[in-house]
Amino acid sequence: MKVLVLNSGSSSIKYQLFEMRDESVLAAGSIEQIDEPGSHLSHCVRSPQGEMTKTLRTLPINDHRQGFALIASVLKETGALADTGELKGIGHRVVHGGEKFKEPTRVTPEVLSTIRALIPLAPLHNPANLLGMEVAMESAPSVPQVAVFDTAFHQSIPRHAYHYAIPKKLYEAHQVRRYGFHGTSHRYVVKKAAEFLQKPLESLNLISLHLGNGASAAAIRQGRCIDTSMGLTPLEGLIMGTRCGDLDPAIIFYLERETGLTSGAIESILNKESGLKGICGVNDMRTVGEMASAGNPEAQLAITMYCYRIKKYIGAYYAVLGGLDGLIFTGGIGENADFIRAACCEGLAHLGLKMDNGKNLGRPEGCSAMESKDSRARILVIPTNEELEIAEQTVACLEAEPL
Ligand code: ADP
């Protein structure tokens, strides 16, 4: 049973084709710079021996429709998928599902209109996700399609945690509330944690830290998300590559008055020029780590601030969970940066979190435990796999709602 997962951006389409019997990746790739000079396709296909062969083609790709046709034709040429009719379904990543979508949902014209109505909540992402779904539905009309929302896992957050302390009418008229993002990743790693610990997810209290270019924390009580650090948008919460995370909201009005910058320009600074980049000039944690080791004080400060913010969230979520079974690190930084994991856990023995510094070293293979023998809670590194989670949810949705 094959499932294609699509992640459609404004000028790109990323894809992975899965064989769901053994959850293997048959092919994966991306189309980048659609309607720009240098538009190209990068495609990897798995040989029968299990080796991945990569091809790169630079060619004019004028729109998403051409992009989808190119993906279908390269999947065919390389023997991964003879025809889109072989697909059990296509799963689409959709960033914002608002309050409407609490679960993966079969794509219909009504669902598309509801996602369209949510564009004001995610003006950069939802239009591109919609375009991807429309093109895929037109190009492969007989293949069932499923929308999987980044916000859905967080829809279990209770009202006292999702409301902001602002006039109620701003929620009622404009849906201003905490939604949270990276839900697909948090959902995947907490499921994997339960498998790894050989305990039912419903019995576990976990804190999940997705640390990639974007970063977010989630508090999971008995398997359900009860709080998360991102808010109405992905700007709130942890310090990220280029996003500031938590901030006194009055800073925006102060900057407007003092600098004459427009709110749009300030929004861009907070999203694209802040975070690690704002503190030390670079947003890639590998470079920040190298600079810090070479003695650069700004890079050292960036790492200290980054981990201090994470520790504050661990403390807050520990308090609201009322007990912790495990802390999960995932995402490019969480999976790879041992120095960040070590600094985030340092001094948390009083919360029952004690790292074994030897086990923590390097990048572990698969899921692994990093805590010392006398740690009350587990400390886990779990590689995320958002595409596989989308594929699994696509199958689950289609099996729950057959045509
Ligand atoms: P995205 O959010 O775009 O999916 P990733 O999850 O791939 O991003 O994470 C990207 C981040 O992971 C970058 O800051 C990168 O520097 C960091 N990273 C990747 N490998 C390492 C490593 N070996 N050591 C430190 N940081 C790493």
pLDDT digits over 44-75, tens only?
Answer: 999 888 888 999 999 999 999 999 999 999 99
Residues known to be catalytic? 150
- Pocket of ligand 1 contains residue 155 by CB under 6 Å: no
User: Quick one: pLDDT at residue 364?
Assistant: 78
User: Quick one: pLDDT at residue 362?
Assistant: 83
Q: What is the mean pLDDT of residues 310-322?
A: 97
Q: What is the mean pLDDT of the chain?
A: 95
Extract the tokens encoding 298.
């700004």
From CA 150, how far away is CA 30, in angstroms rounded?
A: 20
In the chain, the percentage of residues whose pLDDT exceeds 70 is 100
Q: What is the mean pLDDT of residues 74-91?
A: 94
Q: What is the mean pLDDT of residues 288-314?
A: 98
Q: How many CB atoms lie within 10 A of CB 189?
A: 32
- Pocket of ligand 1 contains residue 336 by CB under 6 Å: yes
Q: Is the pLDDT of residue 365 over 90?
A: no
User: Quick one: pLDDT at residue 267?
Assistant: 96
- Residue 117 Cα, ligand 1 centroid: separation in angstroms? 33
Q: What is the pLDDT of residues 103-129, one digit of tens each?
A: 999 999 999 999 999 999 999 889 999
Q: What is the pLDDT of residues 178-193, one digit of tens each?
A: 999 999 999 999 999 9
User: Quick one: pLDDT at residue 363?
Assistant: 83
φ/ψ (deg, to 5) at 364: -70, 155
- Residue 99 Cα, ligand 1 centroid: separation in angstroms? 30
User: Quick one: pLDDT at residue 371?
Assistant: 97
φ/ψ (deg, to 5) at 125: -100, -45
Taking the model in full, what pTM does it have? 0.95
Confidence at 395, pLDDT banded by 50, 70, 90: very high
Burial 330-357 (b: 16+ CB within 10 A, else e): bbbbbbbbbbbbebbbeebeebbbbbee
Beta strands 326-330 and 205-211: pairing type?
parallel
Q: What is the pLDDT of residues 141-163, one digit of tens each?
A: 999 999 999 999 999 999 999 99
From CA 403, how far away is CA 242, in angstroms rounded?
A: 44
Q: Taking the domain 200-386, which CATH number applies?
A: 3.30.420.40
- Residue 396 Cα, ligand 1 centroid: separation in angstroms? 30
User: Quick one: pLDDT at residue 402?
Assistant: 67
Contact 64, 135 (CB under 8 A): yes
Nearest atom (ligand 1) to Cα of 276: 14
Q: Whose CA is nearest to atom 7 of ligand 1?
A: 332
From CA 275, how far away is CA 287, in angstroms rounded?
A: 14
Nearest atom (ligand 1) to Cα of 210: 6
Q: What is the pLDDT of residues 234-287, one digit of tens each?
A: 999 999 999 999 999 999 999 999 999 999 999 999 999 999 999 999 999 999
Q: Is the pLDDT of residue 89 over 90?
A: yes
- Pocket of ligand 1 contains residue 241 by CB under 6 Å: yes
Domain with CATH 3.30.420.40 in the chain: 2-149, 200-386
Q: Whose CA is nearest to atom 23 of ligand 1?
A: 336
Tell me the CATH architecture of domain 2-149.
Answer: 2-Layer Sandwich (3.30)
User: Quick one: pLDDT at residue 194?
Assistant: 98
User: Quick one: pLDDT at residue 403?
Assistant: 65
- Residue 376 Cα, ligand 1 centroid: separation in angstroms? 29
- Pocket of ligand 1 contains residue 388 by CB under 6 Å: no
